[in-house]
A and B are shown apart, each in its own frame.
Chain A
Amino acid sequence: MQYSAHQACAYGGERPKWTVLAWNHPAFSSLSLCCPGESDAHKHKPWGLVHSGSGFHFSTSEETAYPKGLAHAIARVFASILSVHGWKPPLEQMQEQPDVSLRSMRAIATAQPKASKMPPIVREHKKVALITGPFTELATAPVECMQRLKQRWNIPSSCQANVDCLPAGAQLLRTTPLRSNGGLLEAKQLGVGVFEQAWGIPFSPDEFIQEALERGHPKSFSRLVPQVLQTAIENNFGTDGLHSLPSSRTQWFAKWTERAKQLQQRDMEIKNALPDHAAKILEAKRLALFKEILEDLEYPDVGAFDELVDGTDLVGEVKPFGIFEKSLKPAERTVQQLREASKSERMLDFFKCSSSGDKEIDDMVYSKTLEEVEFGWATGPLQLEDLPGDAVISRRFGLRQPGKIRLIDDLSASGINQTVQTAESPKPHSADFIAAMLLAVLKVSKGSKLMGRSLI
């Protein structure tokens, strides 16, 4: 721990009260301003007893809260440390480039997120004007911090700025001391500290409308259609598309059907190296071909192939695939913690597993499980004493859905899902995606008739 001292009045307090802060990051050493000395612009309230309507109190009790200026200064230090570690401040306004972050995807497809979670469509200020000069001069600004000028203000001549005056509506954002290496930066002739004032200059109503038009709508459907799909759509309706598309498809199939034959041997080798159950599950799949096609198309996630072959880990960290939006969801417990849980906890769901009360569901769940055994997707029934020492059991139950009963393995109740840490969040294509895709089609289809179908 290190320490630095400052006086409250240097940060907008009313008395020169000393405070010592303890810190463990050197950036906080900047919080060490002392009183600039009493003058017309800087006056102190007296110490001692204070008379007020309700009696007397000690002046020190008025100095217990940090002045706003100090709070701002502390926040700025945190921001400077965080930005060194890669933190980016919130965006000033919506990006012009199509933004494919998960949050904006959600914004398009579902509800608008809270205002604090999305940047505004048009930024708050057209520009920020900076004025530097002695504190006494800057303090003549007719408004407090965060307030707006009621009428235009001519900037004092002793101050430097890139504008001559500030228009009505300009908002005072901050007044902060400028520093050189050794301490407070001083104006040469005056021997007083130099401060910087930031003012937000607003857009005029007409400028704002123009700016908002250029930004577009955050839910604009066109933002939902990935470039690769947009290109495909255009290829369907291009001048040449009518004739060239079917023949290019035929060529593609011819090429890869041929390649599939050549890769038969390779597929055998892959499958022979797999455990029996995995080889059986993947029997029909053309694994080597799948991988080569993905590589040929430069698909960013060729790892999808490895996972198909090597199987899926039910626990632990999921490495980013590079195809879905980044969104870290940390694990709630570690795999180690799950393994080390007491045996009764790991077996709990076995003992909790009882009849659903619905004979049809019970029968269906059990017979479907036996069917899975037959297909080689499962083994059992097993004896409890044959299970590995750290086995965790999840409960399987049936859920009645329109026209069928679906088997669910409750890996959440048994704590397995809680060990999963994900770096990306997949977004399957919802009804809004289909709408966006169709709009993209309408824009280029030039009166063509369309048909569609669903396949499951």
Chain B
Amino acid sequence: MSFAFVAVYNPDKARAEVFQLLAAPFGATRSVYSFLRLSNAVWYIGVKALNLIWSCFFDDYVVFSRDEHVNNAEQSVSLLFKLLGWKFAEEGDKADTFCREFGALGIRIILDEADKGLVKFTNTEKRSTELINTINAFLGKGSMTTLEAQKLRGRMQFMDGQLFGRLGKLCMREVTNHACDLKTSKLSTRTYDALKRFSIFLEHAEPRHIHLSTDDVWHIYTDACYEPTSCDWKCGLGGVLVGPNGKQAAYVSVALSNEQMELLGSETKKTIIFEAELLALVLAFSIWREYIAAFSLICFVDNNSARDVAISGNGRNITANCLIEFLLKLEMSSCTTPWYARIPTPSNIADEPSRGEIQRFIDFNVPGTSVQDGLQEIMLALAENTVMRGSIH
């Protein structure tokens, strides 16, 4: 018991006093384990012995029931805790009753269309607006002290626990780095970008829908080619959309104009294949977002660098960062959780269309998707980005 002593400040005597703890302290790594161990055991009993449909997040249990069993489920949970001698909030603020719509872990779960196969998850709006305002204030000021960064990180973490998707975690990593940097409170470009993304993330986060087809998997295959010495097809992009049944639903095949290649950096770089591969991915996601919204998506890319920046959410250069930002917004607004995977070139069905070869799609009646509007939208974002950067430096 030599390790269970705590110093507590006694405000009356204005000095610290020592107490010995006899119950597991809040803040011990070991306590977390024993706590979760017990709550998991109780959760298991409920599932296996009583067929309860419930989850357990520390001491926060969320229970579901079909209408016919609501009273029975209610009694069963309460009886289970009583039987084991566990404490359980039966009255007061925390005691709730079964509803069609309720809050848990900081999100709202809406069940009124569950009989039609649809469940909705939303965030509490007030809290996200507050956080957006705070972040925008830091962005305006251009700086953030270590203490401010730590506080902000806490709030972001709390919010992120309730949001789906990955953007929040990527942004928090940057805020942590900023908090650890004791040399300056000025926001670096990376931290600035990350904060901006988090606020976009909060704004764009749509209510998440869980429906029967949520688990249906769509594939996007993309590829790019770059042959600066070729005369008419210098930089080509190709993509193929494959539906859950394995059927090829659409393809794209497009060659970039010289102006578009310049926006990717063809004037200053020896090769723009990485940027082109990333652009192919973003373009395909963008033009097919209607098809894939709220489904599971896998994007197959045969350029490892493009895959890696799509996963990390960090573009490595200005052009790529702008494309990644576009991609992350697409992820959020389409409620799609993509997985970025590698495909070897000889296996990639998008290889041919990236070089302008589309005969096989014509033979099999696969429709070509028009890309000019979608490409224009991304190119505009790239151009704006270039202009903005130019005015900063």
In the complex, are the beta carbons of B96 and A124 less than 8 A apart? no
Q: Give chain B nearest CB distance to A228 CB in angstroms.
A: 5
* B246 at interface, CB cutoff 8 A: yes
In the complex, are the beta carbons of B9 and A121 less than 8 A apart? no
Q: Which residues of B contact A293 (CB under 8 A)?
A: 45, 49, 84
Provide the bound-state CA to CA distance between A112 and B169, in Å: 11
In the complex, are the beta carbons of A442 and B337 less than 8 A apart? no
Q: Which residue of B lies closest to A360 (CB)?
A: B11
* B367 at interface, CB cutoff 8 A: no
Q: Which residues of A contact B86 (CB under 8 A)?
A: 285
Task: Write out, one digit per residue, whether chain B residues 152-177 have a CB within 8 A of any chain A CB (1) or not (0).
Answer: 00000000011010100110000000
In the complex, are the beta carbons of B19 and A408 less than 8 A apart? no
Known interface pairs A409-B25, A409-B28; A439-B98 also in contact (CB < 8 Å): no
Known interface pairs A168-B346, A323-B40, A396-B8; A390-B55 also in contact (CB < 8 Å): no
Q: Give chain A nearest CB distance to B260 CB in angstroms.
A: 27
Q: Which residue of B lies closest to A117 (CB)?
A: B311
Q: Which residues of B contact A340 (CB under 8 A)?
A: none
Partner of A396, one of B7, B61, B85, B161: B7
Q: Give chain A nearest CB distance to B285 CB in angstroms.
A: 15
Majority secondary structure of chain A interface residues (helix, strand, loop or mixed): mixed
Per the 8 Å Cβ criterion, residues 141-174 of A in contact with B are 148, 168-169, 171
In the complex, are the beta carbons of A349 and B7 less than 8 A apart? yes
* B31 at interface, CB cutoff 8 A: yes
In the complex, are the beta carbons of B215 and A252 less than 8 A apart? no
Q: Which residues of B contact A168 (CB under 8 A)?
A: 346
In the complex, are the beta carbons of A382 and B161 less than 8 A apart? no
In the complex, are the beta carbons of B2 and A388 less than 8 A apart? yes
In the complex, are the beta carbons of A454 and B62 less than 8 A apart? yes
Provide the bound-state CA to CA distance between A147 and B210, in Å: 45
Q: Which residues of A contact B340 (CB under 8 A)?
A: 112, 115
In the complex, are the beta carbons of B19 and A299 less than 8 A apart? no
Partner of B48, one of A206, A228, A407, A442: A228
Known interface pairs A236-B53, A293-B45, A445-B66; A393-B5 also in contact (CB < 8 Å): yes
* A365 at interface, CB cutoff 8 A: yes
In the complex, are the beta carbons of A379 and B7 less than 8 A apart? no
Q: Which residues of A contact B296 (CB under 8 A)?
A: 217, 219-220
Most chain-B Cβ atoms within 10 A of its Cβ — which of A207, A314, A373, A388?
A314
Known interface pairs A253-B83, A260-B83, A428-B36; A448-B115 also in contact (CB < 8 Å): yes
In the complex, are the beta carbons of B52 and A411 less than 8 A apart? no
In the complex, are the beta carbons of B7 and A115 less than 8 A apart? no
Q: Which residues of B contact A207 (CB under 8 A)?
A: 347
Q: Which residues of A contact B178 (CB under 8 A)?
A: none
In the complex, are the beta carbons of B8 and A434 less than 8 A apart? no
Q: Give chain A nearest CB distance to B109 CB in angstroms.
A: 6
In the complex, are the beta carbons of B111 and A450 less than 8 A apart? yes
Task: Write out, one digit per residue, whether chain A residues 327-340 have a CB within 8 A of any chain B CB (1) or not (0).
Answer: 00000000000110
In the complex, are the beta carbons of B7 and A395 less than 8 A apart? yes
Q: Which residues of A contact B18 (CB under 8 A)?
A: 350, 380-384, 387, 393
Provide the bound-state CA to CA distance between A290 and B38, in Å: 10
Task: Write out, one digit per residue, whether chain A residues 219-234 have a CB within 8 A of any chain B CB (1) or not (0).
Answer: 1111000001100110
Q: Which residues of B contact A394 (CB under 8 A)?
A: 5-7, 25, 27
* A437 at interface, CB cutoff 8 A: yes
Q: Give chain A nearest CB distance to B338 CB in angstroms.
A: 8
Q: Which residues of B contact A382 (CB under 8 A)?
A: 5, 17-20
* A26 at interface, CB cutoff 8 A: no
In the complex, are the beta carbons of A426 and B44 less than 8 A apart? no
Q: Give chain A nearest CB distance to B221 CB in angstroms.
A: 8
In the complex, are the beta carbons of B23 and A393 less than 8 A apart? no
Q: Give chain B nearest CB distance to A357 CB in angstroms.
A: 11
Q: Give chain B nearest CB distance to A76 CB in angstroms.
A: 23
* A188 at interface, CB cutoff 8 A: no
* B349 at interface, CB cutoff 8 A: yes
How many A-B residue pairs have C-beta atoms within 8 angstroms? Tell me. Answer: 441
Task: Write out, one digit per residue, whether chain B residues 83-104 have a CB within 8 A of any chain A CB (1) or not (0).
Answer: 1111111000011111110111
Provide the bound-state CA to CA distance between A378 and B161, in Å: 33
* B10 at interface, CB cutoff 8 A: yes
Provide the bound-state CA to CA distance between A277 and B8, in Å: 20
Q: Which residue of A lies closest to B311 (CB)?
A: A112
In the complex, are the beta carbons of B55 and A114 less than 8 A apart? no
* B21 at interface, CB cutoff 8 A: yes
In the complex, are the beta carbons of B102 and A232 less than 8 A apart? no
Partner of A409, one of B6, B97, B169: B6
In the complex, are the beta carbons of A372 and B55 less than 8 A apart? no
Q: Which residues of A contact B94 (CB under 8 A)?
A: 455-456
Provide the bound-state CA to CA distance between A235 and B66, in Å: 12
In the complex, are the beta carbons of A387 and B5 less than 8 A apart? yes
Q: Give chain A nearest CB distance to B366 CB in angstroms.
A: 12
Q: Which residue of B lies closest to A232 (CB)?
A: B51
In the complex, are the beta carbons of B9 and A355 less than 8 A apart? yes
Task: Write out, one digit per residue, whether chain A residues 272-289 have a CB within 8 A of any chain B CB (1) or not (0).
Answer: 000001100100111001
In order of increasing CB-CB distance, the 10 nearest A-B pairs are A169-B346, A380-B19, A111-B166, A205-B349, A454-B104, A429-B55, A381-B17, A353-B16, A353-B7, A409-B25
Residues of B within 8 A of A (CB): 1-12, 14, 16-34, 36-41, 43-45, 47-53, 55-70, 72, 74, 76-77, 79, 83-89, 94-100, 102-105, 107, 109, 111, 114-119, 121, 161-162, 164, 166, 169-170, 208, 210-212, 214-215, 217, 219, 221, 242, 244, 246, 296-298, 300, 304, 307-308, 311-312, 337, 339-349, 351
24 contacts between A and B (CB under 8 A): A111-B311, A115-B311, A121-B298, A217-B297, A236-B53, A249-B72, A299-B48, A304-B40, A312-B31, A313-B30, A314-B25, A338-B3, A354-B9, A362-B9, A391-B3, A426-B33, A426-B36, A429-B43, A437-B53, A451-B70, A452-B64, A452-B65, A455-B94, A455-B96
A-B contact sample (4 more), CB < 8 A, given A110-B169, A366-B10, A442-B114 = A111-B311, A212-B219, A353-B16, A455-B94
Residues of A within 8 A of B (CB): 110-115, 120-122, 124-125, 148, 168-169, 171, 202-210, 212-213, 216-222, 228-229, 232-233, 235-237, 242, 245-246, 248-249, 252-253, 256-257, 260, 277-278, 281, 284-286, 289-290, 293-294, 297, 299, 301, 304-305, 307-308, 311-315, 318, 321, 323-324, 338-339, 349-356, 359, 362-363, 365-366, 369, 372-373, 376-384, 387-388, 390-396, 406-412, 416-417, 420, 422, 426, 428-435, 437-439, 441-443, 445, 447-456
